[in-house]
Chain A
Amino acid sequence: MIRISKRGKQERFESGNDESRKSKQFRRSLVSWIPGFLLICLCVPAFPTSSSSAADVVIGSKKFTESYVLGEIGKRILSDAAIPAEHRQGMGGTIILWEALRGGQIDAYPEYTGTIATEILKSDPSLSLDQIRDSLEKLGVGMTAPLGFNNTYALVMRRSEAQRLGIHTISDLRKHPELKIGLTHEFLEREDGWRPLRARYGLPQQDIIGIDHSLGYNALANGSIAVKDAYSTDAKIEQNNLVVLEDDLQFFPKYEAVFLFRSSMRANAIVALGRLEGTLDEARMIRLNAEAERARNYARAADLYFERSARPNALNDSFPRKLARWTLRHLQLAGFSLLLSILVGIPLGIVASRGGAMGHLILGFAGVVQTIPSLALLALLVPLPFFGISVRTAITALFLYGLLPIVRSTATGLQDIPRSLRESAVALGLSPLARLWKIYLPMASRSILSGIKTSAVINIGTATLAALIGAGGLGEPIISGLNLNDHVIILEGAIPAAVLALLVQWCFDLLDRVLIPKGLRL
């Protein structure tokens, strides 16, 4: 759920082309930026139709989940005020929506302050709300007050430690060069991340480590680090009793959600939209996005805002049902990729067993694939055409991982056949194919099966990462648990995955008895 909702957040920046916007896409762990990245590639702005509408007020939205949801909510609040309203969904990117608003095809649409400042007003992202409002007014456009959530980077500390050291602002960090800082890898590396922040504030700290976003909260809690970067809307700031250090030099731009509307829009509509101000905090928006993604129905997410509907079905799912769903998907991922690994790995192993340049090439390739961290392999595949955020990508990555053990064990098994037996097969006058099929492969069966077993167990383990790219499986609760810092949820996925690995191992041990010829088991 959380994973999906983050994607929604990231999607907001789909048309971003300036650094501060992009920073948002990469802000979180891989969990969130991969989907965002793909969506950028896929987002082809659709031009609005200029047909006039029967509705009094037309609300537009950008082409990503959160905008759809906000657009839908806007339409509802108008309808509730007895103003006939229409929601024109997913019209495109910022510029298209802005032009449509100026041109009168739409009357209002949801937008973010940072985007307004940089992309629409071509100004500094640190413009104040009032400055933005004034500039818009001159263009005949009004803006509501912020709806309640802002997504931007922030530095956080434990409240107790911040109080003890008297640190309230990022500037205050200058007085404490001994503090250890743990930052997400994205933030560390980004051009508009840690380095310019440090330069801007002249921060003296030397002890900087890169750490996963979620694990960083644990590190912060147990005192391993004193400061970390966070998403300012992150629910964990409250949960962990942290304080956001004031960005006193306004380094981080603000991205507060607002509605833009034509100043000429009917007054009661402006009032109605105003009712949304300050009503949507981060936690709530996350839930709405998640519901929209889950149900593929924005109206339903809007319902949730108005609390017209029951809790979403996913939350009603009993644990056994969820477990069954995760496990089934997990087995599909691991099983299908294993099948591919076998179908490709055994022939490659046969070729590799003959040695020579080709053999070295194959074993070398399979070996190199194995050395790529699984997370990195997923990340490398996602931007490629054909792959992206899909089950296909997960299966491909797992397939590549499963390859080496099978290729190697096949090659080794074949090479270990004594020369005298190979020669006996040749001397009998068996054709090369018959030798392979009737003699060599059965003799290498133990080794080949052990390679397949290794692949299967690796695949069961690695398949948990598939959840990172939305492919589901037992990784789903693990990732959610990591993000929520909830050990119970992590175990809901981790224990079944471990049990599954053991079961698979056990099944293969049984399979050995069937597939390895009896004569080799004496």
Chain B
Amino acid sequence: MSALVQLLEVSKRYADTPALHPTDLSIERGRTTVLIGPSGCGKSTLLRLIIGLVEPDSGSIEFNGAPIGADNIDNVRRRIGYVIQEGGLFPHLTARNNATLMARHLGRKYQETKERLSELCQLTRLSESLVERYPLELSGGQRQRVSLMRALMLSPELLLLDEPLGALDPLVRASLQKDLKAIFAELKQTALLVTHDLAEAAYLGDEIVLMNEGRIVQKGTIIDLRERPANPFVSEFINAQRGIASV
């Protein structure tokens, strides 16, 4: 199994605050990696570094073995799907046009795009009757499904999800978690997901990367983290979440 994305000594500061200390990380193909940690731990920064929304202060990021730079970033972005918390759908475009925006921009064939859209509707379990609606006419869960369709439209090699379910109510959230897991499995999708919810991380992640204060604290399965915590913070983090979950 080879790494699709490789971070080497990547660091980032915002003004005087280090957001990410020099960090190494590989995202393995076909697996779901989950970044987890408290707010401000650097997990979103890491994601944003990969998609090129922020530039690293030092270190390099390789995608498919090639370093990401200004010259190839747009190409890399087209091979990555990106889903954010509120969906990031453009309000002036219908669900269909949001999802097919990039395909149309790249001049993909209409029929091809149309078929891909139906396929994705099935995959994300969104009724096809909703695709002519505008984002404001959709529920939060439906918006996230459209956002996922948009991210998957061009069959990306990597799917980045930045707290995609963070703003949804628990029932919708549970249903979407299940769907996500199924989609990842069906597509054998390489995915990198940011969440602060340990249960979600445990449910979706093949590998969990726990971060704190701009550093990776521990990598492994949920069992690794629970049974063999690297330091007291790991135990504290896991216990805190379990405590809430068991209430």
Contacts and interface: CB of A to CB of B under 8 A. Distances in A.
Contacts of A442: 90, 92
B90 A429 contact: no
Contacts of B93: 517, 519
Contacts of A445: 92
Nearest to B80: A427
A520 B84 contact: no
Interface in B71-129: 74-78, 80, 82, 84-86, 88-94, 101-102, 105
Contacts of A517: 92-93
B237 interface: no
Interface string A436-473: 00110011010000000000000000000000000000
Interface string A80-106: 000000000000000000000000000
A434 B77 CA distance: 15
B53 interface: yes
Interface stretch (A112-120, A127-135, A145-153, A416-424): A416-424
A321 interface: no
Contacts of A421: 88, 90-91
B53 A519 contact: no
Interface stretch (B17-25, B56-64, B130-138, B190-198): B130-138
Contacts of A520: 91-92
Contact of A424 (B52, B88, B92): B88
Interface residues of B, number: 30
B54 to A, nearest CB: 10
B102 A522 contact: no
Contacts of B201: none
A518 B134 contact: yes
A166 B57 CA distance: 90
Given A423-B84, A428-B77, A429-B77, A519 B92 contact: yes
Nearest to B85: A420
Contacts of A434: 105
Given A434-B105, A518-B134, A522-B136, A424 B74 contact: no
A429 B74 contact: yes
Contacts of B150: 428
A1 interface: no
Contacts of B92: 442-443, 445, 517-520
Nearest to A430: B105
Contacts of B76: 429
Interface of A: 420-421, 423-431, 434, 438-439, 442-443, 445, 517-520, 522
Question: A-B pairs with the 3 shortest C-beta distances?
Answer: A424-B88, A429-B77, A517-B92
Interface of B: 48, 51-53, 74-78, 80, 82, 84-86, 88-94, 101-102, 105, 134-137, 150, 160
Given A443-B92, A520-B92, 13 more contacts: A420-B84, A424-B84, A425-B90, A426-B77, A427-B51, A427-B53, A427-B88, A427-B160, A428-B77, A442-B92, A445-B92, A517-B92, A522-B136
